[in-house]
């Protein structure tokens, strides 16, 4: 008998019918002879709606109360799904994160998992029950208060449970048929990937691909959890071949050569996929004195304010002034705290001005094959040039090249780059089954 962990996102349990469809899928896995643990998100846009409610009542709700509120969303789903499975003639037991043994630190809103103690889950499985767990939540080791893992955290719950239970497979069910070479909502010619490495998936997730939470991929990589992303809508119960989704697998590191070095894997595709992130801001600190310690002060202030920044670019200083401009990008939602933090150090640091562009987006191409292939930047930049898209910033890692462009150019840029790297499929493959994209 194998143990399967299945996670269903908000759009997969958006209403009663959806919950019943998920129940049928769960029961199919159970009847195929598997032990089944299910992790659910809150129904549809519930989490956003609860946040909107809190926003109308409080200007700065305490993290503890916000977590109390938000964890209620997942409790609704878990109880309804347990009822739906029971209606189909199987035994089901639901557990909150705390009951499931998800022990976290006490940082409300973005708690880290410190331990998973799934004793009650094991006992329920042994008693023949399907187990249903509320995603995205845990309980603090120190305060015993309920915590949340951060937006999209149910993926992480599923992978953490799969690791703790030594599951044979962790399936992440969502509203598209797996991981695509680009977001099929904006690149209709995107192709489904049958397989992608943990490292490429991590880069895609960290740079805007919304299909998986990057923390969940990190966790899966660390504990080698076999992961599969697939659609909960495709009508493939019982037909194994259809819409098998995408397997997330150990990255192919290539085979050792005689010299003992590692040659790039021959089959590594040049580009695995393209991620985009529309909601970013660019801040330029103008005229920072070009001397040791200046950048440390600027980024120290940003770190203290909890700003999540990337893509730092420092220009060469001009000889006349001995000053330099430093630009960086950050999520648009973090703009105000960043500007405030910088204004506080403006006098002492002695830079004359700050410039803000809150209409930028980031496009990233990711692929293991980039390591051994020098032409990637040239192909990327000329595709953007041919589309008339101006590049504002560039950054690279071993397996990724990212550019910052105007937010309005993101979609055209993504399509052009997808074509330029030969990723387009001949016929549309992607069906987006649900989700409001909120």
Closer by beta carbon to Mg ion, 10 or else 287: 10
Interface map 236-275 toward ligand ASP (x if CB under 6 A): ----------------------------------------
Cβ neighbours of residue 258 closer than 8 Å, sequence gap 6 or more = none
**Residue 43 CB, nearest approach to Mg ion (Å):** 9
Residue nearest to ligand ASP (CB): 154
Site for ligand ASP in 313-342 (CB under 6 A): none
Interhelix angle for 63-87 vs 16-31, to 10°?
60
Cβ neighbours of residue 278 closer than 8 Å, sequence gap 6 or more = 208, 361, 407, 410
Give yes or no for residue 10 binding Mg ion (CB under 5 A).
yes
Which CA distances in Å does 360 have to 120, 205, 245, 433?
47, 19, 32, 28
**Residue 13 CB, nearest approach to Mg ion (Å):** 10
Burial level of 50, CB count in 10 A (0-12/13-18/19+)? middle
**Residue 185 CB, nearest approach to Mg ion (Å):** 17
**Residue 157 CB, nearest approach to Mg ion (Å):** 12
Closer by beta carbon to Mg ion, 41 or else 392: 41
Residue 287 contact partner, candidates Mg ion, ligand ASP, none, CB within 5 to 8 A by sort of partner: none
Cβ neighbours of residue 298 closer than 8 Å, sequence gap 6 or more = 285, 288, 326, 342, 345, 349
Number of residues that bind ligand ASP (CB under 6 A): 12
Window of 151-159, 252-260, 279-287, 417-425 that interacts with ligand ASP by CB under 6 A: 151-159
Give yes or no for residue 231 binding Mg ion (CB under 5 A).
no
Among 6, 140, 154, 364, binds ligand ASP (CB under 6 A): 154
Give yes or no for residue 42 binding ligand ASP (CB under 6 A).
yes
Strands (E), 102-234: 102-104, 113-116, 130-134, 137-140, 146-148, 169-174, 195-197, 227-231
Residue 93 zone, left/alpha/beta (φ > 0; ψ -120 to 50; rest) = beta
User: How far is the first Cα of the chain from the last one, in angstroms, to the nearest whole number?
Assistant: 38
Interface residue list for Mg ion (CB under 5 A): 10, 41
Query: What residues make contact with ligand ASP under the rule CB under 6 A?
Result: 9-10, 41-42, 47, 73, 135-136, 151-154
């Amino acid at each position: 008998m194998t143990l399967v962990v299945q996670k269903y996102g908000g759009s997969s349990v958006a209403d009663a019918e959806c919950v019943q469809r998920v129940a049928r899928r769960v029961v199919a896995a159970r009847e195929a002879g598997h032990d089944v643990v299910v992790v659910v998100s809150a129904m549809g846009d519930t989490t956003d709606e609860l946040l909107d409610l809190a926003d109308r009542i409080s200007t700065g709700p305490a993290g503890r109360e916000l977590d109390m509120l938000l964890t209620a969303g997942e409790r609704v789903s878990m109880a309804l799904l347990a009822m739906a499975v029971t209606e189909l003639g199987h035994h089901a037991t639901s557990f909150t994160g705390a009951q499931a043994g998800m022990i976290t630190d006490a940082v409300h809103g973005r708690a880290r998992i410190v331990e998973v103690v799934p004793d009650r889950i094991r006992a329920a499985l042994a008693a023949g029950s399907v187990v249903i767990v509320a995603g995205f939540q845990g309980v603090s080791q120190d305060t015993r208060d309920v915590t949340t893992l951060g937006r999209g955290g149910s993926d992480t719950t599923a992978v953490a449970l799969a690791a703790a239970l030594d599951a044979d497979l962790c399936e992440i069910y969502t509203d598209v048929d797996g991981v695509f070479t680009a977001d099929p909502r904006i690149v209709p010619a995107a192709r489904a990937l049958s397989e992608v490495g943990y490292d490429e998936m991590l880069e895609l997730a960290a740079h805007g691909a919304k299909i998986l939470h990057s923390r969940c991929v990190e966790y899966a990589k660390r504990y080698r959890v076999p992961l599969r992303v697939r659609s909960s809508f495709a009508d493939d119960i019982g037909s194994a071949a259809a819409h098998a989704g995408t397997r997330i697998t150990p990255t192919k590191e290539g085979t050792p050569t005689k010299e003992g070095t590692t040659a790039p894997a021959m089959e590594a595709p040049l580009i695995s996929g393209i991620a985009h992130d529309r909601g970013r801001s660019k801040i330029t600190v103008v005229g920072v004195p070009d001397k040791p310690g200046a950048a440390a002060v600027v980024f120290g202030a940003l770190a203290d304010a909890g700003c999540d920044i990337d893509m730092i670019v420092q220009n060469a200083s001009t000889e006349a002034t001995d000053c330099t401009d430093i630009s960086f990008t950050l999520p648009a939602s973090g703009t105000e705290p960043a500007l405030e933090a910088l204004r506080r150090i403006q006098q002492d640091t002695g830079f004359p001005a700050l410039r803000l562009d809150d209409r930028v987006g980031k496009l990233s191409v990711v692929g293991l094959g980039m390591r051994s292939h020098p032409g990637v930047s040239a192909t990327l930049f000329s595709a953007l040039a041919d589309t008339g898209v101006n590049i504002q910033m560039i950054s690279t890692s071993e397996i990724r090249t990212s550019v910052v462009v105007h937010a309005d150019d993101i979609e055209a840029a993504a399509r052009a780059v997808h074509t330029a790297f030969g990723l387009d499929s001949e016929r549309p493959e992607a069906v987006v089954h649900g989700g409001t994209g909120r």
